[in-house]
Amino acid sequence: MGFYRLFTKSIVFSTRSRRRFFTFVIVFSILSGATVLLLGTFDNFSREGMLDHRGVVIRINSGSNLDLASAESTLAVEDGRTISGASAVIYYKFVDFGTNIRIFSLNKNYPWAFVAINPTNLVSGRFPSNPTEVLVSSDSILPMGDSEGGVFAFIKPVVGMTFKLGISNASEFDIKVSGVVKIPNTEVTGGRHWIIMPEEAFERLRGPQNLALSDDQIFVHSITFVAQGDILSAFSGQTYSFVDQLADNYDNLGSPYGFPIFKEKTDKDGERNFTILSLFFGLFGTFMVSTLYSYLITRFRRREVAVLKAMGYSKWNVRTVVLTEILVVAVTGFIIGLLAIQLSIYLGRVGSWFYWIIMSPTAFFSFLAVVISCVPGFIIITTRTLAVRPIELFRQK
């Protein structure tokens, strides 16, 4: 009971020295944010790096297109679903709309996995966030039709433009351009203009009210196997092992996929070592600041510590008071730093997909790292202070 009360009272009292409290909360939030980012690098939440570390993409349209029904029935996909290390199998489907336009479905949870329209290729606007929005390729020129089916104009779509996709005997399909992506080269597009729409819109388009297409009329551009991995496996290199294992398995597939493409990251060890080094400095910074804070607490409140000891507080009682103060500052700083990172991810999102870092193992392990890095400084400072008898503290007037 005594310990719990001392702990809870110390939490309340730790915020009373407002200027010192807020100063250190800000410092801790910056350090915590850096720690989260560095640990996040291991978890590869950044879309640019994620594919290299966490996914294997097999592109299957290098030769003749493979329809969805055939793709699903192949042994390779079954293997992909069951192989150790694969946590999801993502199809990127497409359908040709007339002779000039190819329409893709976009899985909003894995936008990074579709290499050709990776979010880093976004030129303007943003990824679709609702079923009426689409991306278009930057070189697109859309034909405008007349009521009799003839083409009377060609226009270059821009962000915010609305138009209709329509065929005879089907309901019209209202869409709005939310973003423009740069398609790497015309070989990839096959000379067609690309429209990329969310999966639910694509399914509606291919449904009975519109195109009424069966599985063998839908084609698959690529299949992505997402490798499992979390921050711990990143530390140990296990995530890389999963990716390598998947790559090896599919390297020999050859036909009917044409050629499996796995772009191996050659400098992954170097990157990992650099990140570990950065993380070490980040945690060292947290350690230094927490040590400084412990020092300031015990220095500014040296006489208070002496009074507490004179009143009968044991060493552990005093340690509880000081440790609670440090933890309140560290945890508050961590929460603010984490929320700032989450906010920046949200504001920098592409489309509806963004990473919930506050719910991730990265956040959990960052929290542990920040708390643990506070402990050595706390022990060093409080041990030095508590070793002094209260009478000696009173003499230092």
Q: Write the DSSP symbol of residue 350.
A: B
Region binding another protein by CB under 8 A among candidate stretches 103-111, 171-179, 230-238, 312-320: 312-320
**Rounded distance, CA 228 to CA 246, Å?**
11
**1 makes contact with another protein (CB under 8 A):** yes
Region binding another protein by CB under 8 A among candidate stretches 22-30, 43-51, 191-199, 304-312: 304-312
Q: Candidates 277, 288, 310, 343: give the one binding another protein (CB under 8 A).
A: 310
Q: Candidates 212, 343, 372, 391: give the one binding another protein (CB under 8 A).
A: 391
Q: C-alpha angle with apex 47: 46 to 50, nearest 5 degrees?
A: 85
What amino acid is encoded at 315 in this protein? K
State the number of binding residues for another protein (CB under 8 A).
25
Region binding another protein by CB under 8 A among candidate stretches 2-10, 232-240, 291-299, 335-343: 2-10
Q: Candidates 99, 191, 311, 348: give the one binding another protein (CB under 8 A).
A: 311
Q: Kindly tell me the sign of the dihedral angle through the C-alpha atoms of 37, 123, 164, 92.
A: negative
**Rounded distance, CA 347 to CA 341, Å?**
10
**Rounded distance, CA 31 to CA 330, Å?**
10
DSSP E strands: which ranges in the chain? 55-59, 66-67, 86-97, 101-106, 122-125, 133-137, 142-145, 151-155, 162-165, 173-181, 193-198, 219-227
Nearer to another protein, 151 or 391 (CB): 391
**75 makes contact with another protein (CB under 8 A):** no
**64 makes contact with another protein (CB under 8 A):** no
Q: What value does the CA radius of gyration of the chain take, rounded to a whole number of Å? A: 29
- The values of phi and psi at residue 157, to 5°, are -70, 145
Q: Are 188 and 222 in contact (CB under 8 A)?
A: no
Nearer to another protein, 258 or 390 (CB): 390
**389 makes contact with another protein (CB under 8 A):** yes
Nearer to another protein, 17 or 189 (CB): 17
**396 makes contact with another protein (CB under 8 A):** no
Q: Candidates 92, 133, 309, 327: give the one binding another protein (CB under 8 A).
A: 309
| Least distance in angstroms from the C-beta of 21 to another protein | 10
Nearer to another protein, 216 or 392 (CB): 392
Q: Which two tokens stand for residue 332?
A: 């508050």
Region binding another protein by CB under 8 A among candidate stretches 9-17, 83-91, 152-160, 288-296: 9-17
Q: Are 67 and 213 in contact (CB under 8 A)?
A: no
Q: Which two tokens stand for residue 12?
A: 């309340």
Q: Are 193 and 101 in contact (CB under 8 A)?
A: yes
Q: Are 72 and 274 in contact (CB under 8 A)?
A: no
| Least distance in angstroms from the C-beta of 307 to another protein | 5
**307 makes contact with another protein (CB under 8 A):** yes
The candidate with the shortest Cα–Cα distance to 191, out of 256, 141, 122, is 141
Encoded one letter per residue, x for contact with another protein by CB under 8 A and - for no contact, window 315-354 reads: x-x-------------------------------------
Q: Are 351 and 24 in contact (CB under 8 A)?
A: no
The number of residues making up the chain comes to 397
Region binding another protein by CB under 8 A among candidate stretches 75-83, 101-109, 157-165, 314-322: 314-322
Q: Which two tokens stand for residue 193?
A: 């203009």
- The values of phi and psi at residue 16, to 5°, are -75, -35
| Least distance in angstroms from the C-beta of 158 to another protein | 60
Region binding another protein by CB under 8 A among candidate stretches 3-11, 138-146, 156-164, 241-249: 3-11
**394 makes contact with another protein (CB under 8 A):** yes
**Rounded distance, CA 196 to CA 15, Å?**
52
Q: Which two tokens stand for residue 70?
A: 């055939």
**19 makes contact with another protein (CB under 8 A):** no
Nearer to another protein, 312 or 348 (CB): 312
DSSP E strands: which ranges in 276-347? none
Region binding another protein by CB under 8 A among candidate stretches 4-12, 206-214, 287-295, 339-347: 4-12
**22 makes contact with another protein (CB under 8 A):** no
Q: Candidates 170, 296, 308, 345: give the one binding another protein (CB under 8 A).
A: 308
Q: Give the footprint of another protein on this chain (CB under 8 A).
A: 1-3, 5-6, 9, 13, 16-17, 303-304, 307-315, 317, 389-391, 394
